[in-house]
Protein backbone atom coordinates (compact mmCIF):
# COMPACT_ATOMS: atom_id res chain seq x y z
CA UNK A 1 0.00 0.00 0.00
CA UNK A 2 1.40 3.39 -0.96
CA UNK A 3 1.71 5.95 1.80
CA UNK A 4 2.24 9.67 1.22
CA UNK A 5 2.97 12.53 3.61
CA UNK A 6 3.52 16.21 3.09
CA UNK A 7 6.35 17.99 4.90
CA UNK A 8 6.63 21.72 4.19
CA UNK A 9 5.06 21.25 0.78
CA UNK A 10 7.21 18.30 -0.28
CA UNK A 11 5.62 14.90 -0.83
CA UNK A 12 7.51 11.84 0.45
CA UNK A 13 6.30 8.43 -0.68
CA UNK A 14 7.16 5.03 0.74
CA UNK A 15 5.57 1.60 0.86
CA UNK A 16 3.82 1.26 4.20
CA UNK A 17 5.22 -1.81 5.92
CA UNK A 18 7.71 -2.47 3.10
CA UNK A 19 9.63 0.78 2.62
CA UNK A 20 13.22 0.49 3.83
CA UNK A 21 14.62 3.99 3.27
CA UNK A 22 13.25 7.42 4.10
CA UNK A 23 14.95 10.75 3.39
CA UNK A 24 13.73 13.71 5.43
CA UNK A 25 16.88 15.79 5.16
CA UNK A 26 16.48 19.59 5.16
CA UNK A 27 12.75 19.42 5.86
CA UNK A 28 12.53 22.11 8.53
CA UNK A 29 11.53 19.56 11.17
CA UNK A 30 11.57 20.42 14.88
CA UNK A 31 10.55 16.90 15.86
CA UNK A 32 10.37 13.48 14.25
CA UNK A 33 6.96 13.06 12.54
CA UNK A 34 4.70 10.39 14.04
CA UNK A 35 4.17 8.77 10.64
CA UNK A 36 7.78 7.54 10.68
CA UNK A 37 6.77 4.88 13.21
CA UNK A 38 4.39 3.40 10.63
CA UNK A 39 7.34 1.94 8.75
CA UNK A 40 8.43 -0.94 11.01
CA UNK A 41 10.75 -2.35 8.35
CA UNK A 42 12.58 0.93 7.81
CA UNK A 43 16.33 0.31 7.65
CA UNK A 44 17.69 3.74 6.65
CA UNK A 45 16.40 7.04 8.06
CA UNK A 46 17.96 10.36 7.08
CA UNK A 47 17.05 13.39 9.20
CA UNK A 48 20.00 15.74 8.56
CA UNK A 49 19.79 19.52 8.52
CA UNK A 50 16.70 19.93 10.67
CA UNK A 51 16.09 21.37 14.15
CA UNK A 52 15.27 18.17 16.02
CA UNK A 53 16.10 18.44 19.73
CA UNK A 54 14.79 15.09 20.97
CA UNK A 55 13.60 11.71 19.75
CA UNK A 56 10.04 10.61 20.64
CA UNK A 57 9.18 7.32 22.33
CA UNK A 58 7.47 6.01 19.19
CA UNK A 59 10.94 5.96 17.64
CA UNK A 60 11.61 2.67 19.43
CA UNK A 61 9.28 0.87 17.01
CA UNK A 62 11.99 1.16 14.33
CA UNK A 63 13.66 -2.00 15.56
CA UNK A 64 15.03 -2.88 12.09
CA UNK A 65 16.80 0.44 11.59
CA UNK A 66 20.43 -0.09 10.57
CA UNK A 67 21.41 3.47 9.60
CA UNK A 68 20.33 6.68 11.31
CA UNK A 69 21.63 10.11 10.35
CA UNK A 70 20.75 12.96 12.71
CA UNK A 71 23.60 15.24 11.71
CA UNK A 72 23.12 19.00 11.89
CA UNK A 73 20.27 19.07 14.39
CA UNK A 74 19.77 20.42 17.92
CA UNK A 75 20.20 17.35 20.13
CA UNK A 76 21.64 18.18 23.55
CA UNK A 77 22.18 14.65 24.81
CA UNK A 78 22.65 11.12 23.56
CA UNK A 79 19.02 10.01 22.90
CA UNK A 80 17.83 7.40 25.42
CA UNK A 81 15.41 5.86 22.93
CA UNK A 82 18.37 4.55 20.91
CA UNK A 83 18.69 1.74 23.44
CA UNK A 84 15.76 0.06 21.64
CA UNK A 85 17.50 0.14 18.26
CA UNK A 86 19.83 -2.80 18.69
CA UNK A 87 20.09 -3.34 14.92
CA UNK A 88 21.80 0.02 14.31
CA UNK A 89 25.07 -0.31 12.42
CA UNK A 90 25.66 3.31 11.41
CA UNK A 91 24.87 6.26 13.67
CA UNK A 92 25.63 9.86 12.73
CA UNK A 93 25.14 12.57 15.37
CA UNK A 94 27.60 15.16 14.07
CA UNK A 95 27.03 18.91 14.44
CA UNK A 96 24.54 18.78 17.28
CA UNK A 97 24.75 20.34 20.74
CA UNK A 98 25.50 17.20 22.73
CA UNK A 99 27.19 18.39 25.91
CA UNK A 100 28.61 16.93 29.10
CA UNK A 101 26.31 14.39 30.71
CA UNK A 102 25.87 15.29 34.37
CA UNK A 103 26.57 12.51 36.92
CA UNK A 104 22.97 12.29 38.09
CA UNK A 105 20.44 9.51 37.53
CA UNK A 106 19.35 10.91 34.19
CA UNK A 107 22.93 11.18 33.04
CA UNK A 108 23.67 7.57 33.91
CA UNK A 109 20.55 6.48 32.05
CA UNK A 110 21.69 8.32 28.95
CA UNK A 111 25.12 6.73 28.94
CA UNK A 112 23.79 3.20 29.52
CA UNK A 113 22.31 3.49 26.02
CA UNK A 114 25.78 2.72 24.68
CA UNK A 115 25.61 -0.76 26.14
CA UNK A 116 22.68 -1.65 23.88
CA UNK A 117 24.26 -0.59 20.59
CA UNK A 118 26.39 -3.69 20.21
CA UNK A 119 26.00 -3.88 16.43
CA UNK A 120 27.34 -0.40 15.72
CA UNK A 121 30.04 -0.34 13.07
CA UNK A 122 30.19 3.42 12.45
CA UNK A 123 29.75 6.13 15.10
CA UNK A 124 30.15 9.80 14.18
CA UNK A 125 30.03 12.39 16.98
CA UNK A 126 31.95 15.15 15.21
CA UNK A 127 31.44 18.81 16.15
CA UNK A 128 29.69 18.51 19.51
CA UNK A 129 30.69 19.62 23.02
CA UNK A 130 31.36 16.26 24.68
CA UNK A 131 33.93 16.33 27.49
CA UNK A 132 33.88 12.68 28.49
CA UNK A 133 32.92 9.27 27.18
CA UNK A 134 31.35 6.54 29.34
CA UNK A 135 33.08 3.25 30.16
CA UNK A 136 30.21 1.58 28.29
CA UNK A 137 31.92 2.50 25.04
CA UNK A 138 33.83 -0.73 25.55
CA UNK A 139 30.62 -2.65 24.82
CA UNK A 140 30.55 -1.52 21.21
CA UNK A 141 32.46 -4.66 20.27
CA UNK A 142 31.69 -4.39 16.53
CA UNK A 143 32.69 -0.74 16.18
CA UNK A 144 35.13 -0.21 13.32
CA UNK A 145 35.01 3.53 12.64
CA UNK A 146 34.77 6.03 15.49
CA UNK A 147 35.13 9.74 14.86
CA UNK A 148 34.80 12.50 17.43
CA UNK A 149 36.45 15.41 15.67
CA UNK A 150 36.13 18.85 17.27
CA UNK A 151 34.74 18.17 20.74
CA UNK A 152 36.05 18.94 24.23
CA UNK A 153 37.10 15.43 25.18
CA UNK A 154 39.55 15.49 28.09
CA UNK A 155 40.18 11.77 28.54
CA UNK A 156 39.75 8.59 26.53
CA UNK A 157 38.39 5.74 28.70
CA UNK A 158 40.60 2.69 29.23
CA UNK A 159 37.68 0.58 27.99
CA UNK A 160 38.44 1.70 24.44
CA UNK A 161 40.88 -1.21 24.46
CA UNK A 162 37.89 -3.57 24.25
CA UNK A 163 37.11 -2.37 20.72
CA UNK A 164 39.03 -5.16 19.01
CA UNK A 165 37.54 -4.47 15.56
CA UNK A 166 38.31 -0.76 15.55
CA UNK A 167 40.01 0.32 12.30
CA UNK A 168 39.77 4.11 12.44
CA UNK A 169 39.58 6.53 15.34
CA UNK A 170 39.58 10.29 14.85
CA UNK A 171 39.94 12.46 17.97
CA UNK A 172 41.36 15.54 16.27
CA UNK A 173 40.70 18.92 17.92
CA UNK A 174 39.98 17.83 21.49
CA UNK A 175 41.60 18.42 24.89
CA UNK A 176 43.36 15.09 25.40
CA UNK A 177 46.53 15.23 27.50
CA UNK A 178 47.21 11.48 27.34
CA UNK A 179 46.21 8.32 25.54
CA UNK A 180 45.47 5.15 27.52
CA UNK A 181 47.87 2.25 27.21
CA UNK A 182 44.83 0.06 26.52
CA UNK A 183 44.42 1.73 23.12
CA UNK A 184 47.24 -0.51 21.89
CA UNK A 185 44.96 -3.52 22.41
CA UNK A 186 43.08 -2.44 19.28
CA UNK A 187 45.20 -4.66 17.04
CA UNK A 188 43.15 -3.89 13.91
CA UNK A 189 43.68 -0.15 14.13
CA UNK A 190 44.79 1.23 10.76
CA UNK A 191 44.25 4.97 11.14
CA UNK A 192 44.79 6.98 14.33
CA UNK A 193 44.09 10.72 14.28
CA UNK A 194 44.84 12.64 17.48
CA UNK A 195 46.02 15.94 16.03
CA UNK A 196 45.43 19.27 17.77
CA UNK A 197 45.24 17.97 21.32
CA UNK A 198 47.54 18.46 24.33
CA UNK A 199 49.52 15.24 24.20
CA UNK A 200 53.01 15.42 25.69
CA UNK A 201 53.91 11.82 24.90
CA UNK A 202 52.63 8.63 23.32
CA UNK A 203 52.49 5.52 25.53
CA UNK A 204 55.28 2.99 25.12
CA UNK A 205 54.43 -0.21 23.25
CA UNK A 206 53.03 1.39 20.12
CA UNK A 207 54.53 -1.40 18.00
CA UNK A 208 51.61 -3.54 19.19
CA UNK A 209 49.57 -1.71 16.54
CA UNK A 210 50.92 -3.93 13.78
CA UNK A 211 48.32 -2.79 11.22
CA UNK A 212 48.71 0.95 11.85
CA UNK A 213 49.37 2.79 8.59
CA UNK A 214 48.31 6.39 9.23
CA UNK A 215 49.21 8.36 12.36
CA UNK A 216 48.37 12.04 12.80
CA UNK A 217 49.78 13.68 15.94
CA UNK A 218 50.27 17.16 14.50
CA UNK A 219 49.76 20.16 16.74
CA UNK A 220 50.49 18.52 20.09
CA UNK A 221 53.37 18.91 22.56
CA UNK A 222 55.39 15.79 21.77
CA UNK A 223 59.15 15.99 22.24
CA UNK A 224 60.09 12.43 21.29
CA UNK A 225 58.49 9.28 19.89
CA UNK A 226 58.27 6.04 21.91
CA UNK A 227 60.75 3.18 21.81
CA UNK A 228 60.91 1.22 18.52
CA UNK A 229 58.53 3.66 16.85
CA UNK A 230 60.50 3.25 13.62
CA UNK A 231 59.48 -0.43 13.47
CA UNK A 232 55.90 0.54 12.63
CA UNK A 233 54.86 0.02 9.01
CA UNK A 234 53.46 3.51 8.55
CA UNK A 235 52.66 4.96 5.15
CA UNK A 236 51.68 8.40 6.49
CA UNK A 237 52.91 10.31 9.54
CA UNK A 238 51.86 13.85 10.39
CA UNK A 239 53.81 15.39 13.27
CA UNK A 240 54.27 19.06 12.42
CA UNK A 241 53.80 21.73 15.09
CA UNK A 242 55.09 19.64 17.98
CA UNK A 243 57.96 20.28 20.37
CA UNK A 244 60.18 17.59 18.90
CA UNK A 245 63.77 17.58 20.11
CA UNK A 246 65.81 19.92 17.98
CA UNK A 247 68.70 20.44 20.35
CA UNK A 248 72.27 19.64 19.35
CA UNK A 249 72.80 15.88 19.69
CA UNK A 250 76.08 14.84 21.27
CA UNK A 251 77.52 11.31 21.56
CA UNK A 252 76.86 9.79 24.96
CA UNK A 253 80.24 9.49 26.74
CA UNK A 254 81.12 5.88 27.58
CA UNK A 255 81.22 5.30 31.31
CA UNK A 256 81.67 2.18 33.40
CA UNK A 257 78.43 0.52 34.45
CA UNK A 258 78.03 0.24 38.21
CA UNK A 259 74.89 -1.75 38.92
CA UNK A 260 73.42 -2.30 42.35
CA UNK A 261 73.09 -5.80 43.78
CA UNK A 262 69.30 -5.46 43.51
CA UNK A 263 69.56 -4.63 39.81
CA UNK A 264 71.95 -7.51 39.13
CA UNK A 265 69.66 -9.95 40.93
CA UNK A 266 66.61 -8.61 39.11
CA UNK A 267 68.27 -9.04 35.73
CA UNK A 268 69.22 -12.62 36.56
CA UNK A 269 65.65 -13.41 37.64
CA UNK A 270 64.20 -11.72 34.54
CA UNK A 271 66.42 -13.83 32.29
CA UNK A 272 65.35 -16.99 34.11
CA UNK A 273 61.68 -16.03 33.79
CA UNK A 274 62.08 -16.11 30.03
CA UNK A 275 62.86 -19.83 30.27
CA UNK A 276 59.57 -21.68 30.31
CA UNK A 277 60.61 -24.54 32.59
CA UNK A 278 63.17 -22.83 34.80
CA UNK A 279 62.74 -23.23 38.55
CA UNK A 280 62.39 -19.46 39.03
CA UNK A 281 59.70 -19.18 36.36
CA UNK A 282 57.72 -22.05 37.88
CA UNK A 283 58.06 -20.59 41.39
CA UNK A 284 57.23 -16.97 40.54
CA UNK A 285 53.40 -17.33 40.91
CA UNK A 286 53.98 -18.10 44.59
CA UNK A 287 55.67 -14.73 45.13
CA UNK A 288 53.11 -12.08 44.07
CA UNK A 289 55.13 -9.18 45.49
CA UNK A 290 58.17 -10.16 43.45
CA UNK A 291 56.02 -10.68 40.37
CA UNK A 292 54.55 -7.21 40.83
CA UNK A 293 58.03 -5.70 41.20
CA UNK A 294 59.28 -7.35 38.02
CA UNK A 295 56.22 -6.18 36.07
CA UNK A 296 57.79 -2.72 35.79
CA UNK A 297 60.85 -4.08 33.99
CA UNK A 298 61.77 -3.28 30.41
CA UNK A 299 64.27 -4.48 27.84
CA UNK A 300 67.25 -2.99 26.05
CA UNK A 301 66.59 -1.46 22.64
CA UNK A 302 69.81 -2.97 21.34
CA UNK A 303 70.41 -6.40 22.90
CA UNK A 304 66.85 -6.99 24.21
CA UNK A 305 68.29 -7.87 27.61
CA UNK A 306 66.01 -7.12 30.59
CA UNK A 307 66.56 -4.46 33.24
CA UNK A 308 64.61 -3.12 36.18
CA UNK A 309 65.61 0.33 37.40
CA UNK A 310 68.99 1.11 35.80
CA UNK A 311 69.35 1.98 32.14
CA UNK A 312 70.97 4.44 29.76
CA UNK A 313 68.48 6.92 28.30
CA UNK A 314 69.23 7.79 24.66
CA UNK A 315 67.67 9.16 21.52
CA UNK A 316 67.88 7.94 17.94
CA UNK A 317 67.23 10.22 15.01
CA UNK A 318 65.18 8.33 12.43
CA UNK A 319 64.84 9.42 8.82
CA UNK A 320 61.35 8.54 7.63
CA UNK A 321 62.39 7.88 4.05
CA UNK A 322 65.55 5.92 4.76
CA UNK A 323 64.51 4.04 7.89
CA UNK A 324 60.73 3.67 7.47
CA UNK A 325 60.34 3.62 3.66
CA UNK A 326 58.05 6.63 3.68
CA UNK A 327 57.92 9.45 1.15
CA UNK A 328 58.83 12.14 3.64
CA UNK A 329 62.49 12.98 4.28
CA UNK A 330 61.70 14.25 7.77
CA UNK A 331 63.95 13.15 10.63
CA UNK A 332 62.27 12.44 13.97
CA UNK A 333 63.63 11.69 17.46
CA UNK A 334 62.83 8.23 18.83
CA UNK A 335 63.44 7.25 22.44
CA UNK A 336 65.86 4.40 23.14
CA UNK A 337 66.87 2.71 26.37
CA UNK A 338 70.04 0.65 26.72
CA UNK A 339 70.76 -1.79 29.52
CA UNK A 340 74.42 -0.75 29.81
CA UNK A 341 77.20 1.41 28.43
CA UNK A 342 78.51 -1.73 26.76
CA UNK A 343 75.55 -1.66 24.38
CA UNK A 344 76.17 2.01 23.78
CA UNK A 345 79.85 1.48 22.97
CA UNK A 346 78.99 -1.27 20.50
CA UNK A 347 76.40 0.83 18.66
CA UNK A 348 77.49 4.28 19.76
CA UNK A 349 77.06 6.19 16.47
CA UNK A 350 73.34 5.33 16.46
CA UNK A 351 72.54 6.76 19.89
CA UNK A 352 72.83 10.23 21.31
CA UNK A 353 72.27 12.15 24.47
CA UNK A 354 70.57 15.51 24.17
CA UNK A 355 72.39 18.64 25.21
CA UNK A 356 69.93 21.36 26.20
CA UNK A 357 71.62 24.73 25.91
Q: What is the pLDDT of residues 170-215, one digit of tens each?
A: 999 999 999 999 999 999 999 999 999 999 999 999 999 999 999 9
Determine the Cα–Cα distance for residues 350 and 220; give it in Å rounded to an integer.
Answer: 27
The last residue of one of the domains, among 47, 74, 101, is 74
Question: Does 295 map to a domain?
Answer: yes
The last residue of one of the domains, among 40, 74, 108, is 74
CB 117 within 8 A of CB 91: yes
Question: Does 119 map to a domain?
Answer: no
In a 3-state reduction of DSSP, which class is residue 208?
Answer: helix
Question: Does 141 map to a domain?
Answer: no
The CATH number of the domain holding residue 28 is 3.80.10.10
Question: Does 19 map to a domain?
Answer: yes
Counted domains in the chain = 2
Strand partners, 147: 124, 170
Whole domain around residue 8: which residue ranges? 1-74
The last residue of one of the domains, among 41, 74, 107, is 74
Question: Does 114 map to a domain?
Answer: no
Q: What is the pLDDT of residues 287-334, one digit of tens each?
A: 888 888 888 888 998 889 998 988 888 888 999 999 999 999 999 999
Q: What is the pLDDT of residue 29?
A: 96
Q: Spell out the residues 6+ positions from residue 40 whose beta carbon is closer than 8 angstroms to its own.
A: 17, 61, 62, 63, 64
Question: Does 83 map to a domain?
Answer: no
Q: What is the pLDDT of residues 263-295, one digit of tens each?
A: 888 889 889 889 988 888 888 889 888 888 888
- Mean pLDDT calculated for residue range 2-11: 50
Question: Does 34 map to a domain?
Answer: yes
Determine the Cα–Cα distance for residues 113 and 137; give it in Å rounded to an integer.
Answer: 10
Amino acid sequence: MAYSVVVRGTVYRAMCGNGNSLNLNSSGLKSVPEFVSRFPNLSVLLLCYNSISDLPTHFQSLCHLTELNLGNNALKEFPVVLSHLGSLRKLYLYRNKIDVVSPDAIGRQVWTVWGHLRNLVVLNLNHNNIQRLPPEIGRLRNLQHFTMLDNKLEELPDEVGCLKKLCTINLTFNNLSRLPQQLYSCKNLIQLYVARNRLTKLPEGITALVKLRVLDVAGNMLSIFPIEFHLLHLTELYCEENWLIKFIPVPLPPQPALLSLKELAARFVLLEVRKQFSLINLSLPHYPELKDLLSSSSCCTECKGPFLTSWVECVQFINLKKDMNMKSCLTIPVRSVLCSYKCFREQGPCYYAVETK
